[in-house]
Amino acid sequence: MSAGLIDTHAHLDGSEFASDLDEVVRRAQQLHVSALISCGQDQATSVQTLALAGRFPGVVAPAVGVHPHFAKDAGDLLWLESLLDDPRVVAAGEMGLDYHYDFSPRARQREVFECQLELATARGLPAIVHCREAYDDVIALLRSYRGRGATVVVHCFTANYDVGKTLIDECGAFLGIGGAVTFKKATDLQDAVQRLPLERLVLETDCPYMTPVPHRGKRNEPAYLPLTCAALAALRGAPAEAIAEATTANALRLFPRLAASASAMQAQ
């Protein structure tokens, strides 16, 4: 596959990559993963994503935000406003709602999620949204922000066609497709990605989590993104090259600063 892929959601700041991150990035580039978005989950990891962008310029792009697990400890978010003003930041997130674990009270999750949507929309930044067992509330909030110009991607999308269609049609969302699409039991997701519009799909690893087959049970990494691309291509009956080109074009539309950075690198 010669078309460059974009991993729209990774967590490269974790301890899982502490010993071999240079090799991880190198392997990804060798397999034509040309850009990676590393997403913060709280203040510390958001700062780390900015450091990674400096360490791997033109390859790793930072997103900063508060994951719903950490909403209870997020404070007043003044620190996040400052980080979002860094011109290297390509998105706000990871933000959203998680009603499966409920590590933060739901009311606080919603408060922090809405605050981040407000900050992102005010800056013209796309929002990277986490949703687990909370689609009704996420859809309601995203629907209300669509008219204000919010751009969003619901990452690690694993729901069915009807939910995906609602997110696209009513919220204007992009959907992040990751390793789950390779799982044998993910039949609802596999049906959905065959029928949903390709122009609204982007690829992600969510590494070090959500490792695709045949590497399930091992640490995920950006070099496995072509496996997800190939699975999506097989489900849609399309060449992998066409899926790579389409999803990369979608990612560059979704993340304008990433597109600007890519153009600048090509001009050098």
pLDDT digit string (tens) for 33-56? 999 999 999 999 999 999 999 999
Q: Up-side HSE of residue 267: CA atoms within 13 Å toward CB?
A: 6
Look up the domain containing 29 and give its range. 5-267
pLDDT at site 264? 54
Instruction: Grade residue 231 by pLDDT with cuts at 50, 70 and 90.
Output: very high
**Using one digit for the tens of pLDDT, what is the confidence trace for 93-136?**
999 999 999 999 999 999 999 999 999 999 999 999 999 999 99
Residues 143 and 128: their CA atoms lie apart, in Å, by 15
- pLDDT band for position 256 (50/70/90)? very high
Helix, strand, coil share of the chain (percent; to 5): 50, 15, 30
pLDDT at 204 over 60: yes
Q: Report whether pLDDT(197) > 90.
A: yes
- Provide the 8-state DSSP code for 185: T
Q: What is the pLDDT of residue 263?
A: 59
Distance, in Å, from the CA atom of 37 to the CA atom of 143, rounded to the nearest integer, reads 25
pLDDT at 260: 85
Q: Which residues contact residue 251 at a Cβ distance below 8 angstroms, ignoring those fewer than 6 apart? A: 6, 8, 35, 202, 203, 258
C-beta of residue 21 within 8 angstroms of C-beta of residue 58: no
- With cut-offs at 50, 70 and 90, classify the pLDDT of residue 168: very high
**pLDDT surpassing 50 at residue 144:** yes
Q: Which amino acid is at 127?
A: A
Q: Token pair for residue 158?
A: 């694993």
The total number of residues written for the chain in this structure? 268
Under 8 Å between Cβ of 78 and 48? no
Which DSSP letter does residue 78 get? H
Output the pLDDT for position 2. Answer: 53
- Per-residue pLDDT, 113: 99
What lies within 8 Å, CB to CB, of 85 at 6+ separation is 123
What is the number of structural domains in the chain?
1
Spatial CA neighbour of 52 closest among 80, 82, 24, 94: 24
| Cross-strand pairs, 35 | 6
**Within 10 Å of residue 11's Cβ, how many Cβ atoms?**
22
Is it the case that residue 25 has pLDDT exceeding 80?
A: yes
User: Given a cut of 80, is residue 268 above it in pLDDT?
Assistant: no
Q: What is the pLDDT of residue 257?
A: 97
**Predicted local confidence at residue 262, as pLDDT:** 67
CATH number at residue 46: 3.20.20.140
Indicate yes or no: pTM above 0.85.
Answer: yes
Mean pLDDT of 126-147: 97
Q: Which residue has the higher pLDDT, 150 or 233?
A: 233
* Residue among 217, 202, 218 nearest 250 (CA): 202
241 pLDDT above the threshold of 60 = yes
**Rounded-to-integer distance, Cα 150 and Cα 144, Å:** 9
CA distance 151 to 122: 11
What pLDDT is attached to residue 102?
97
